[in-house]
Structure 1
Amino acid sequence: MNIQDPKHWHVLSSDQLLKDLQTSSSGLSQQEVGIRREVFGPNKLPDKSQISMIKMIIGQLINPLIFILIAAAIASVAIGEGKDAIFIFLVILINTVIGVYQEYNAEKSASNLTKLLRIKAKVKRTDEVSEIDSEDLVPGDLVILESGNKVPADLRLIQTAGLEVDESFLTGESQAIKKNPEALGKNTPIADRKNIAHAGATVMSGRAQGIVIATGLNTEVGKIAQNVQEGESAKPPLIQRMEKFTKKIANIIIVLSVILAVLLRFQGMDFSAIFFFVVALAVSAIPEGLPVSLTVALAVATRRMAKRNVIVRKLTSVESLGSCTVIASDKTGTLTVNQQTVKKIYLSDGQQYDVSGEGYNGIGEISIDGKTVKPQKESALFNVCKTAMLANESKLLLKDEKWEFYGDAMDVALLGMGYKAALQPETIHEEFPVQSLIPYESERKFSGAFYKEDNHIHLAVKGAVETILSFCHMQSAEIEKIHTTANQFASEGYRVLAFASGEVDDFQAKDFYHLSDIPKLSYQGLICFIDPLRSEAIQAVAKCKKAGIQVMMITGDHPATASTIAKELGLKEKSRTVVTGAELEKAGGPSDKAFQDLVASTNVFARVSPTQKLEIVDVLIQKGEFVAVTGDGVNDAPALKRANIGVAMGSGTDVAKDVGAMIVVDDNFSSIVAGVEEGRFAYDNVRKVIYLLVSTGAAEVVMFILSIFAGLPLPLLAVQLLWLNLVTNGIQDKALAFEAGEAETMSRKPRDPKEGIFNNIMSQQILISGLIMGGIAFGLWLYLNKFTNMSELHARNMVLLLMVLMQNLHIFNCRSERRSTFNIPISRNYLLILFVILTQVIHIASMHIPFMQSILRIEPITLQEWGYILVLAFPLLLLMELFKWWGRRSEQL
């Protein structure tokens, strides 16, 4: 036997299945089990290997900015400036330590969410039934399923009794699937294979026996997990933008260095001196502190996201949500609660009631025309609620302020409806004691309960509309009208059950009731169920729209259900309401225009397979969108990995969580939107840090070039430049990482995916602030060299202090690209003041410490000199305020 062969197990009859798998209704022998275990191995997915510390360290070092810093350090050693190299390697070390620490903590948090529960399986071997670990199952084993069980492997069912299975994790179908052992056609899609129970599914009700047809990686879950491991992930937006930014910086440095080298050679300078100048220029232009500052900014955002129930596994993913232009969301369990809930009651007298609340609980109320009602005894509403609670095999209890439940999803939902009607299941059962039950069987499509009322036996039944109506005294016109109403509800995405009851003349308790035992009953009404929206989902989607983010719903559920949920969410915006997987299949693949047109025509997809979801994401990425994909099931995993940012649900499958770059702990779509907001805040803060560091670097370059053309010595030594970039700026720029987000952040459209970090406004501000700072510093250097007798050492000391003070003031300019510095409350970031003071204290202290004096070639200054330099630094703040005012004025014109 070779189970790896691509057999269509769902096509075979039970007898042929047993023959092909070389097993029987008595199960395998222990000897045969041992042989097959050697061939097929344990029934489990490979354990996810933990990322080693070495890999984490290497991951932090593989960064273009780090490469440039290493090159600068090597150049520093080449010209004999070993101290400079030490400074550079120190910043690389700090960046690596912070990054590895943060990633380790994130992986630890993610791993804590992994379910450690081992699945047990009831198996029949050599005619003996025993319970074993699911890992010990082999192909050909006979497995027995009961209500509440997890399906331990892919099973071909050979016997069923009212079996309903929840496979939403795999198919996206929100309703439990009724299963039966009948053979199916060869081309039956996975979601419609009613005779297969897939590994990881939950038995909601009924019983069954099935033969194991696939274990481990050969199960449908295993195949998806394997494809996910082999698939490629799109680069996070921040990585893409930082790569472009780094190339720009490197190109600018190379061009400036070549130009400077040529100019100096024409002036007659020797090659060794030219090399020294070029290295000094490179050191001034490279924002050495940027890697550490970025890491800190992203780490701060990571902690903020964790407080809002979003665990970030990689620092570079922090900003990705903020960059997304499209959120492709799963429906079941993400936008909805993944729990069937009664929403409408339509009685035989035509009265229609609405039911509020969501999920398996008694929180909510029944209302009509907006008015809350409590059913009076013997009223039509009371009677249908009574039937729903008596013809019921489930439990729903409030224990220690927590709702506990088990049993069929529809039955649990009906008990929840009973609580909302102020009826207690225990009280109803005491007043109307059940004498016997008719269990639900998919073949007969109804269930019922015989109960005693006023010393008479009555029968309460619920089930498929056509089945229940066949039991009732009704005229054909009435039946047709009820069918029309039920079909209307079904077209709106509701699952509809009918209810009836009546007195029994001659009752006898039996193990099995024939249809002839059912007396003529009185029709009571229809009850409509749906997997409802999370209460906060509508507001969260509206917030996305305001932020310019397109929300797409991609589900494996029924098109009618998807359409109803989409309307409630306000997603019916495009020409098509819903596109189905069948339509996508006819349109070809992601490279076909017809397929691309379908994707562009709607933002709601239903009956979509995992592969098609992946293809939809591919099309969006090819169009240049930054795509965030959310989901909780195994069926979501391939798309989660392919997306720019994959967001897994905390209660979802381990496969989805292993793939997701982020995990939403509370499964709440609004937490995803909160993550988008924090991601935008993080990117804004990253830009602020880059603005500060690059503009001060530009100022140093301007000061250098002007000094060279003026025939002056270098205004600062290489080690002094490093001091500016790594210590002074390197301390205070961290404060920008803690800036609170600006209120208008979620009112802005997403950044253009093609836009780099340097947009027009940032480029202008860097250029202008760099020219101002560089010009002021050069002016002081020129004055001290040409018009005073001050020593070169002390003059450099004064220029260095001026640069430090201008950086202290410039950080306030960097708090916003548009708003005035004086309109941003300092209460939003007290660290800013603290770090600016700390920077100034450290620099002044270094002037008085002999060791630092020796390294930095600096000396103490007088208080009067400090005051003069401070006054000289203030024009920077005032001129940048003028520039912002002009920018705001231009936007209004």
Structure 2
Amino acid sequence: MESNWHLSTVDETLSTLGAKREGLNAGEVQQRLSEYGRNSIPQPKSKTLMGIFLHQFLDPLIYVLIGAAIISVVTGDTTDAIFITAIIVINAILGTYQEWQAENSAQALRNLVKVRSRVKRDNGIHEVDSEELVPGDIVLLESGVKVPADIRLIESHDLTVEEALLTGESEAVHKHTDKLNGNGNIALGDRVNMAFAATTVQKGRGVGVITGTAAHTEIGQIADSLRQTSGEKPPLVQRMESFSKKISIIVLVVCVILGVIGYLEGMPPKEIFFLMVAVGVSAIPEGLPVALTVALSIGTRRMAKRNVIVRKLPAVEGLGSCTMIASDKTGTLTMDQQSVKQLYLPDGQYYEVSGQGYNGDGQILADGQPVTLDGQPDAEMSTFLLAAIMANEGILRKTGDGWEHSGDAVDVALRALSYKVGKDPKFFKAQAEVVEIIPYESERKFSAVFYKREGGQYFAMKGAVEIVLEKLGPTARDKVNEVAEKMAADGYRVLALAGSPATQTDLKQLPDLQLLGLIGMIDPLREEAKTAVKNCRDAGIEVVMVTGDHPATALSIARSLGLAESAEEVISGVELSSIDKLTPKELAEKIKAKKVFARVAPLQKQKIVEAMKSLGHFVAVTGDGANDAPALKSAHIGVAMGSGTDLAKEASSIIVTDNNFASIEAGVEEGRFTFDNLRKIIYLLISTGAAELLTVALSLFLNVPLPFIAVQLLWLNLVTNGIQDIALAFEKGDPQVMHKPPRKPDESIFDKRMNSQIIVSALTIAGVVFGVWLYLMKQPGFNERHGRTVVMMLMVLLQNFHVLNCRSETKSLFRIPLRNNWVLILGIVCAQLLHVSAAYIPGLNSTLQLEPIRMREWLLLLPAAASVLLVMELYKLIIHRKEVS
């Protein structure tokens, strides 16, 4: 179906659609319903509880554990199978609970286009469900209604439409019906003779013919692109998949090598198989899935306290991995509330206006002193405010619990000035009587009023500076234009207010007007946004702005944020369309130095994301409108705003409830805290697992009895160590985490530091355990079961001490306050008590082949186990000295 309806006249559009101004008849409607289908956008299926539960098993490490459980069943070792199965199910339940909660938190209204509409049909006006609308229907629009389909306007009476959810522009668009000149590259926000599905009429009335329904609307095309776009895997998922594959291969190779050695030493096939199972059990970190899920769940709860809802658990860490944030402007970096910040009156006086947003808080300041209208009021300010309030249809009033507003954003912002000089707008309304008001229309670019006061009649108009200048006397124009240009250069949207006495109400017979004042407005920055952007950049994260606003407006905001300095760092959607056919990599070369992307169309935003990814960035994208949804889904981490559309939320992994960029920065910080804790957990599990593997391998090489049997290794990995690794997830974050660069996108979890500390700690633990095992075997009357009980206790004690090492990879444990993680201290105590108790519990002690240990033996093992603390403290000291030298 044709999409360039804005380039056609009204008559051409009606002719092409086979429509007429009086509307379709019932037969035509039915025929078109059959041809085009109902006007509804297919919604993605909601996730079921069972679907979320089953999704928890789609993890390579879980596959390995399931394989181990199956092998255990085949070999008749049901105890091992029960242990492994229990841990898999617990992990799935924890993950399901967290994601189900997040999914419920993210639920919102899904009726973007399902509304009732007034339509001309069968020579009358009828109200129908929007799903029954068809191309060619004549629809009536009025203030407050949601546009039900894409419409070419054929009548417009002061029609203003809020299109932010589709275009990203903060200002409502004034509509007209004239054909536009140009080509198909005209941005959506500039197609002022069209109204688009899911946008809202702010004020005025209009009539239009439907040009597209359902998937043929602009929002429908966005929804369709979402279905065709595959979501990007979060960094943690990518890293853990890589880790799981590597550890599976390593374990398989080690098992085969040890099996071959056993065969060459004459071991029976069944013993060889059980040996391989024992090695596999010791090497595979069975407790890791649960520990990761718990760590991510803790990160989720911490993020929720900072206004960030996580829909998908791996995304908790994802924000901390990002190297670039592509942020929307309106409502995220700014307040999305027009505010008057500067005034210029004819006497040459500039006034600064404090406060921001749609409220009366703040003051008008002249040379730093508040302006009031009591006592001897400023005559020019009184005249200015009277005209501004009279030529005004907005509403702003104080209520019991705040401020209530409605109407045009400019009118509301001007009414706020009245409160800022200590007067209710009624104060001015009482001084004059409206004779005739002329509402704003985009064709005129001004609004005006004729009013009477003190026996005389006056006229006042406010609007675009270039329009008001034409009504001023010739001598005033140059000066006013000069001041207006200066205010515009400072980033203000400038309006002019002018007036004069008027003996009649004919606009064509007005005398030259006199300037009453220039108004500098801005959608103000969120106070915390600049600091948040700086913190992200200090953390090595590039921040770019992607917006539908005008390039000049976007650059002004970017300068205030410290994002950009010059126009060379800005690129517009029109410029992007000229390089539309470039590959993502070619596009990336063109835009890699750009910091501001203005007047950007929805699919262009998605291409920007793909280009940045091709440069090697891990990209987080923020947005709230339907226009942002494709980019949100394409990004590594999609961050939707809480007030945004359902399409945006559905495409995202994270939702920021307060729409604030500062919360995104907080999410980055929490993400980095979470990843650090995940590293601590992995460090603990891999180092202790490697120590167990080394101990078993040494026993095999030296042809001595194994110090552990398979079920004992499972007990160590899943129960005693499992309590401690989960407790590590509660560790408080390092305050310096936002002063470090982000991890490289291709960086493995196992970097140089991780590998070296695993090797040192694993060798230490294995050396101590195997040394004690050899010592016990040489004692007269050696009892193998009691000997295994002793080395099992030693391994538990070593884990108890080693978990303290894992609290930091760089800091001495003596420099980390215990108050940072009381849960860990409790976990160490519980792990020790649980293991001691296992030796006394009937059934469990026989399964684990344990027996009670004497207090004297426990006390002798304590200093041996503490040796791992001494070794790792020396290791950290040596590494620190190397790094600073």
Asked if structure 1 preserves the Cα contact closer than 8 Å seen for 2:572 and 2:600, the reply is: yes
Q: Return closer, same or farther for 1:545/1:788 CA change in 2, 3 Å cut-off.
A: farther
Structure 1 residue 14 corresponds to structure 2 residue 4: no
Query: Aligned to 2:462, what secondary structure does the other structure show?
Result: strand
Counterpart code for 1:851 = G
Report deviation, 1:78: 3.5
Report deviation, 1:628: 0.1
Asked if structure 2 preserves the Cα contact closer than 8 Å seen for 1:493 and 1:562, the reply is: no
After TM superposition, the structure 1 = structure 2 runs for residues 431-580 of structure 1, keeping only pairs within 5 Å, are 431-475=431-475, 478-504=476-502, 506-507=503-504, 514-572=506-564, 576-580=568-572
Counterpart code for 2:451 = Y
Unaligned runs of 5+ in 1: 508-512
Structure 1 stretch 717-726 or stretch 592-601: which is displaced more? Answer: 592-601
Counterpart code for 2:428 = I
Counterpart code for 1:867 = L
Query: Aligned to 1:318, what secondary structure does the other structure show?
Result: helix
Report deviation, 1:852: 0.6
* Percent identity for Structure 1 against Structure 2: 50
Q: Return closer, same or farther for 1:171/1:277 CA change in 2, 3 Å cut-off.
A: same
Distance 1:573 1:261 in 2: 66
1:582 corresponds to: 574
Report deviation, 1:41: 3.4
2:754 corresponds to: 762
1:709 corresponds to: 701
Q: Return closer, same or farther for 1:882/1:178 CA change in 2, 3 Å cut-off.
A: same
2:771 corresponds to: 779
Structure 1 stretch 653-662 or stretch 527-536: which is displaced more? Answer: 527-536
Structure 1 stretch 255-264 or stretch 204-213: which is displaced more? Answer: 255-264
Asked if structure 2 preserves the Cα contact closer than 8 Å seen for 1:362 and 1:420, the reply is: yes
1:187 corresponds to: 184
Q: Return closer, same or farther for 1:871/1:547 CA change in 2, 3 Å cut-off.
A: same
Deviation string 1:774-827 (CA, Å, 9 cap, x unpaired) is 110001110001234230000000011111111111111111111111111111
Asked if structure 2 preserves the Cα contact closer than 8 Å seen for 1:340 and 1:531, the reply is: yes
Number of equivalenced pairs: 881
Distance 2:817 2:461 in 1: 67
2:418 corresponds to: 418
2:247 corresponds to: 249
Asked if structure 2 preserves the Cα contact closer than 8 Å seen for 1:344 and 1:354, the reply is: yes
Asked if structure 2 preserves the Cα contact closer than 8 Å seen for 1:579 and 1:598, the reply is: no
Distance 1:370 1:643 in 2: 47
Distance 1:827 1:215 in 2: 60
Report deviation, 1:582: 2.4
Q: Return closer, same or farther for 1:138/1:129 CA change in 2, 3 Å cut-off.
A: same
2:655 corresponds to: 663
Query: Aligned to 1:844, what secondary structure does the other structure show?
Result: helix
Distance 1:379 1:624 in 2: 61
Asked if structure 1 preserves the Cα contact closer than 8 Å seen for 2:555 and 2:567, the reply is: no
Distance 2:466 2:568 in 1: 32
Counterpart code for 1:231 = T
Q: Return closer, same or farther for 1:836/1:7 CA change in 2, 3 Å cut-off.
A: closer
Asked if structure 2 preserves the Cα contact closer than 8 Å seen for 1:584 and 1:598, the reply is: no
Asked if structure 2 preserves the Cα contact closer than 8 Å seen for 1:148 and 1:407, the reply is: no
Counterpart code for 2:321 = S
Counterpart code for 1:302 = T
2:120 corresponds to: 124
Counterpart code for 2:12 = Q
Distance 1:791 1:815 in 2: 37
Deviation string 1:570-601 (CA, Å, 9 cap, x unpaired) is 00268933112222233344527663233211
Asked if structure 2 preserves the Cα contact closer than 8 Å seen for 1:590 and 1:615, the reply is: no
Distance 2:732 2:354 in 1: 38
Identify which of 301, 322, 325 aligns with 1:324: 322
Counterpart code for 1:798 = V
Deviation string 1:457-504 (CA, Å, 9 cap, x unpaired) is 2222111223323333342xx312322332343455432211112222
Asked if structure 2 preserves the Cα contact closer than 8 Å seen for 1:113 and 1:650, the reply is: no
2:342 corresponds to: 344
After TM superposition, the structure 1 = structure 2 runs for residues 671-820 of structure 1, keeping only pairs within 5 Å, are 671-820=663-812
Asked if structure 2 preserves the Cα contact closer than 8 Å seen for 1:161 and 1:442, the reply is: no
Asked if structure 2 preserves the Cα contact closer than 8 Å seen for 1:492 and 1:560, the reply is: no
Deviation string 1:658-702 (CA, Å, 9 cap, x unpaired) is 111111111111111111111111111111111111111011011
Report deviation, 1:244: 1.4
Structure 1 stretch 418-427 or stretch 385-394: which is displaced more? Answer: 418-427
Asked if structure 2 preserves the Cα contact closer than 8 Å seen for 1:462 and 1:500, the reply is: yes
Counterpart code for 1:468 = V
Counterpart code for 1:20 = T
Counterpart code for 2:135 = P
Unaligned runs of 5+ in 2: none
Identify which of 839, 843, 848 aligns with 1:851: 843
After TM superposition, the structure 1 = structure 2 runs for residues 341-380 of structure 1, keeping only pairs within 5 Å, are 341-374=339-372, 377-380=377-380
Report deviation, 1:316: 1.1
Distance 1:546 1:405 in 2: 39
Distance 2:746 2:185 in 1: 43
Report deviation, 1:747: 1.2
Aligned residues: CA RMSD: 2.0
- TM-score after normalising by structure 1: 0.95
Identify which of 71, 77, 81 aligns with 1:81: 77
Distance 2:33 2:506 in 1: 45
Asked if structure 2 preserves the Cα contact closer than 8 Å seen for 1:574 and 1:603, the reply is: no
Asked if structure 2 preserves the Cα contact closer than 8 Å seen for 1:574 and 1:602, the reply is: no
Q: Return closer, same or farther for 1:631/1:7 CA change in 2, 3 Å cut-off.
A: closer
2:50 corresponds to: 54
Asked if structure 1 preserves the Cα contact closer than 8 Å seen for 2:785 and 2:850, the reply is: yes
Deviation string 1:621-664 (CA, Å, 9 cap, x unpaired) is 11111100000111111110000000000111111111111111
Q: Return closer, same or farther for 1:444/1:78 CA change in 2, 3 Å cut-off.
A: closer
Report deviation, 1:395: 0.6
Identify which of 165, 171, 181 aligns with 1:175: 171
Query: Aligned to 1:829, what secondary structure does the other structure show?
Result: helix
Distance 1:527 1:120 in 2: 39
Counterpart code for 1:485 = V
Deviation string 1:692-741 (CA, Å, 9 cap, x unpaired) is 11111011011111222222101000000000001111112111111111
Counterpart code for 1:483 = N
Report deviation, 1:128: 3.0
Query: Aligned to 1:436, what secondary structure does the other structure show?
Result: strand
Distance 2:43 2:544 in 1: 32
After TM superposition, the structure 1 = structure 2 runs for residues 268-283 of structure 1, keeping only pairs within 5 Å, are 268-283=266-281
Structure 1 residue 826 corresponds to structure 2 residue 821: no
Counterpart code for 2:448 = G
Identify which of 73, 90, 93 aligns with 1:97: 93
1:510 corresponds to: none
2:405 corresponds to: 405
Asked if structure 2 preserves the Cα contact closer than 8 Å seen for 1:492 and 1:563, the reply is: no
Asked if structure 2 preserves the Cα contact closer than 8 Å seen for 1:846 and 1:852, the reply is: yes
Report deviation, 1:118: 5.7
Asked if structure 1 preserves the Cα contact closer than 8 Å seen for 2:584 and 2:610, the reply is: no
Distance 1:365 1:44 in 2: 49
Query: Aligned to 2:225, what secondary structure does the other structure show?
Result: helix
Counterpart code for 2:51 = K
Report deviation, 1:546: 1.6
- TM-score after normalising by structure 2: 0.96
Asked if structure 2 preserves the Cα contact closer than 8 Å seen for 1:589 and 1:615, the reply is: no
Asked if structure 2 preserves the Cα contact closer than 8 Å seen for 1:328 and 1:554, the reply is: yes
Distance 2:42 2:383 in 1: 53
Distance 2:565 2:772 in 1: 61
Report deviation, 1:350: 2.4
Query: Aligned to 1:535, what secondary structure does the other structure show?
Result: coil
Distance 1:157 1:377 in 2: 48
Counterpart code for 1:88 = I
Structure 1 residue 71 corresponds to structure 2 residue 67: yes
Structure 1 residue 605 corresponds to structure 2 residue 597: yes
